[in-house]
Amino acid sequence: MTTHSPNFETSEYKARIARTRAAMAGRGLDLLVVSDPSNMAWLTGYDGWSFYVHQAVILPLEDAPVWWGRGMDAAGAARTVFMAGTDSIRSYADRYVQNPDQHPMEDLARVIADLGGRRIGVELDNYYYSAKAHDVLSGRVEAYLEDATGLVNWQRIVKSPREIAYIRQAARIVEQMHRAMLEQAEPGMPKHHLIAEIYRTGIRGVEGAWGDYPAIVPMAPSGMDATAPHLTWDDQPLRAGEPTFFELAGVHRRYHAPQSRTLFFGEPPAQYRRAEEAVLEATRAAMEVLRPGKLCEDVAAAFNGTLARFGFSKDSRCGYPIGLSYPPDWGERTASFRAGDTTVIAAGMVFHFMPALWLDDGGIEITEPVLVTEKGAEFLTGTPRGLFVK
């Protein structure tokens, strides 16, 4: 291990690679090009803010994986990947970077030709693998390119004990972030000042666990802005009589624990108290179902059925797996708690349970990072559940 602070033992990386290779063999693939930075890190340990240029981990069925990327990032690869030896790190010249007349995939095609492979998997539906990249690569390799989106992601869905330990530490951090938010928020406080304090708390971390950067920035809309789920912050003052929800994530060694809470200054309107009761009761119903052997759609049915009895409905999914992530998303993009998802739940899965409601005049988010154990669902934080009222 070349890094000064390895996240996992080499044996764990090798076990991950073995699982991935079994999935490759089942698909008839003899080479896999992995461009999702979360999947790259999971397979090799690579950790760098270099995903704005083309990069990949190339995994053959037998030989060691190869990190491939921009020349100036090769040193970072040498510092973070578990593989030893210069043959495991390949890089391209800087003339390929953001050059309309040349493309990094021209270099990747040469690397693939050197490694060999007739049936190659690529992550087509991925933030980091562009249409141009596929066009150039497919025009230069003498091989069949097959969509392998999600192949690595699905190998990640059951977490190892070390991964769960990191998520637990991230959960302790997000507890502290919500505590800081509640303690420091006051009517009239510019929202960006509060977000700065939340960020500070998250990065400082907690005793024994430093804070890493989140894959998604804090979501913190107020009032009518809170009728939308994905607005961030501005310089407007916090106001009494309107809701503000805070969707935050504690992060440790790239492992995420997202959690949301909703804040009111003064007594919330009756509609929000009814929504709070509905969300909490529906959450309890879903958690009773969330256990090994059940299906993701069973969890959704328990949640949505209970919510409907209170007169509320939620059209979007109410949860998804979390773990190791890079921007722009902390979800793993595999299973979802929604109708029709027949993924079998297993111990070691970790979800962001997301029972948010967006109402006509605001929103209410009371969400949880949840671990599936042999006995059932375990909330990973002790943050008080319910509306925050101040």
* pLDDT value for 2: 52
Contact 317, 336 (CB under 8 A): yes
Band the pLDDT of 4: cuts 50, 70, 90.
low
Q: Give the pLDDT score at 1.
A: 47
Label residue 49 by pLDDT band (50, 70, 90): very high
Provide the residue ranges of all domains of the chain, joining segments of one domain with +.
10-155, 161-389
Q: What is the pLDDT of residue 3?
A: 55
For the cut 80, the answer to whether the pLDDT of residue 95 exceeds it is yes
User: For the domain 10-155, what is the CATH code?
Assistant: 3.40.350.10
pLDDT band at 17 (very low <50, low <70, confident <90, very high): very high
CA distances from 190 to 183, 185, 187, 359 (A): 15, 9, 9, 24
Q: Which residues contact 285 (CB under 8 A, 6 or more apart)?
A: 302, 303, 305, 306
> What's the topology of domain 161-389?
Creatine Amidinohydrolase (3.90.230)
pLDDT-based confidence at residue 6 (cuts at 50, 70, 90): confident
Q: Tens digit of pLDDT for each residue in 126-185? A: 999 999 999 999 999 999 999 999 999 999 999 999 999 999 999 999 999 999 999 999
The tokens describing 326, both together, are 């890079």
Helices 37-44 and 10-27 cross at an angle (nearest 10°) of: 120
Mean pLDDT of the chain: 96
- Find the mean pLDDT for residues 327-341: 97
* pLDDT at 360 (0 to 100): 87
CB 208 within 8 A of CB 347: no
What element of type H or E holds 33?
A: strand 31-34
Contact 19, 154 (CB under 8 A): no
Q: Residue 135: how many CB atoms within 10 A of its CB?
A: 12
CA distances from 254 to 122, 197, 206, 327 (A): 24, 21, 15, 10
